[in-house]
Amino acid sequence: MIYEKTNNMEVKRINRNRIFRLIYKNEKLSMHEIASCLGMSLPTVGQNLKNLQSEGLITENGVFESTGGRKAKAISCIKDAKLAVGLDITNNHLSLVLVNLSGEIVKSTRVAKIFENSQDYIKEIGELVSGFIETSNIDKSKVLGVGIAVPGILSDDKQTVVYSHALGLADRNGPDFTKNISYPSVLSNDANAAGFAELWNTEAVKNAVYLSLSNTVGGSILLDNRLYPGDNQRSSEFGHMTLELNGRTCYCGKRGCLDAYCSASVLSNGTDEGLYDFFDLLKKGGKKQEKMWKEYLSYLAVAVNNLRMLFDCDVILGGYIGAYIEEYVDELRLLAAEGNTFEPDGSYLKVCRNKREAAAVGVALLHIERFLSQV
Ligand SMILES: [Zn+2]
């Protein structure tokens, strides 16, 4: 008897979730369309719609043109019904985004702040997040949680930063980043978060490698739309693949790492403005920039081809460079194809769709995704 009751509740929960997700994926639908699409009875759909509407998750959105008889009401999802905050921690700044159920950035801000392993820094993070939500003029009960992206390797339970060269953390000596945040919080590696954002809500792509070309080089591997963490949470440390034997010294201390050739700071002096200036001068025909860019692309093509050989899936270019590379991607495809044993073109090479604050958006989406799977 208890089993039957539980089972019945589970069926009701699944029905509700299917109805909500169908509306979420469509701009507008009628009650009849929902019932027919999901093979459910009109009373079941009607009761669920009533509940979802009273919870502020869906709304009536006009009517459909009549095909005879009464015009059917159009039903849409309210995309701002729930929101999530993403916080990206870097050595130099803190970025905050507020994203809605569609993954759109509703609000964002970036604050210059040098990382320090101190309680004051953690306190400031808490105040920054509270202030950001406070000034967003939203009902706080709509905030699902705060995601925190960090440039480091996390523990298996994703509660602690085990190691971060960028932040100078080792042996779990970092602070508790979530300590002063009064919302459900989750940590993620920054490149993993950015990679997750790339495949989120896409149905076509199943496998992809995300190459993050920021002031350090990292990335993520997505297999069947899931992040592959590796045995030690250290997968996708693409920045430290050896590109050149006895080559340039990398910040990790080893020689010839990809990072030493393809980080964004190779082109800039480590600042956003520097990168903007670099591409501005490149477009204006600056000889020095042309030479640097040619060399940069030649190394990047080798790395991209290596990733294609390893994973045989799309390679997505992201990070700071991802925001600028669109107009040069055909040139890079040709270079990558020259080194490829099997393929005559580099059409597998893609440019990221999240051109700004990808890590912050991605880590916020972890809360959105959880909500959508449980609603
Ligand atoms: Zn290295």
Fold type of domain 2-77: Arc Repressor Mutant, subunit A (1.10.10)
Residue 60 has pLDDT above 90, yes or no: no
CA 365 to ligand 1 centroid distance, Å:
30
pLDDT of residue 310 exceeding 90? yes
Mean pLDDT of the chain: 91
Q: Kindly give the distance from the C-alpha atom of residue 223 to the centroid of ligand 1, in angstroms, as a whole number.
A: 25
Amino acid at 346: G
- Look at residue 201 in the predicted model and tell me its pLDDT: 84
Residue pair 163/153 in contact (Cβ under 8 Å)? The answer is yes
Amino acid identity, residue 207? N
Ligand 1: centre distance to CA 265 (Å): 14
Ligand 1 centre and the CA of 49: distance in Å?
Answer: 54
Residue 300 is predicted with a pLDDT of: 98
For the residues 89-93, what does the mean pLDDT come to? Answer: 89
97 pLDDT exceeds 60? yes
CATH of segment(s) 83-196+360-374: 3.30.420.40
Residue 272 pLDDT level (bands cut at 50, 70, 90): low
Ligand 1 centroid to residue 119 C-alpha, Å: 30
- Over pLDDT 90: what percentage of the chain? 69
Give the pair of three-digit tokens for residue 183: 């919302």
Residue 306's pLDDT band, with cuts at 50, 70 and 90, is: very high
Q: Which residues contact 255 (CB under 8 A, 6 or more apart)?
A: 244, 246, 247, 248, 249
pLDDT digits (tens, 9 = 90+) for 231-259: 888 899 999 999 999 999 999 899 999 99
Q: For position 63, what pLDDT does the model report?
A: 82
pLDDT of res. 352: 95
Read off the amino acid at residue 287.
Answer: K
Q: How far away, in angstroms, is 242 Cα from ligand 1 center? A: 8
Judge whether 268 and 274 are in contact, CB under 8 Å.
yes
What confidence score (pLDDT) does residue 157 get? 79
Asked whether the beta carbons of 38 and 12 are under 8 A apart, the reply is no
Domain definitions of the chain by residue range: 2-77, 83-196+360-374, 204-351
What pLDDT does 29 receive? 92
- Give me the architecture of the 204-351 domain, per CATH: 2-Layer Sandwich (3.30)
pLDDT band at residue 166 under the 50/70/90 scheme: confident
Q: Which of 133, 52, 62 is nearest to 99 (CA)?
A: 133
The CA 261 to ligand 1 mean position distance, Å, reads 10
pLDDT at 229: 87
Q: How many angstroms is it from 9 CA to the middle of ligand 1?
A: 53
- Distance of CA 192 from the midpoint of ligand 1 (Å): 18
Q: Do domains 83-196+360-374 and 204-351 have the same CATH topology?
A: yes
Helix (H) or strand (E) holding 337: helix 329-338
Ligand 1 centroid to Cα of residue 61, in Å, is 54
Q: Is the pLDDT of residue 274 over 90?
A: no
Tell me the three state secondary structure of residue 317: strand
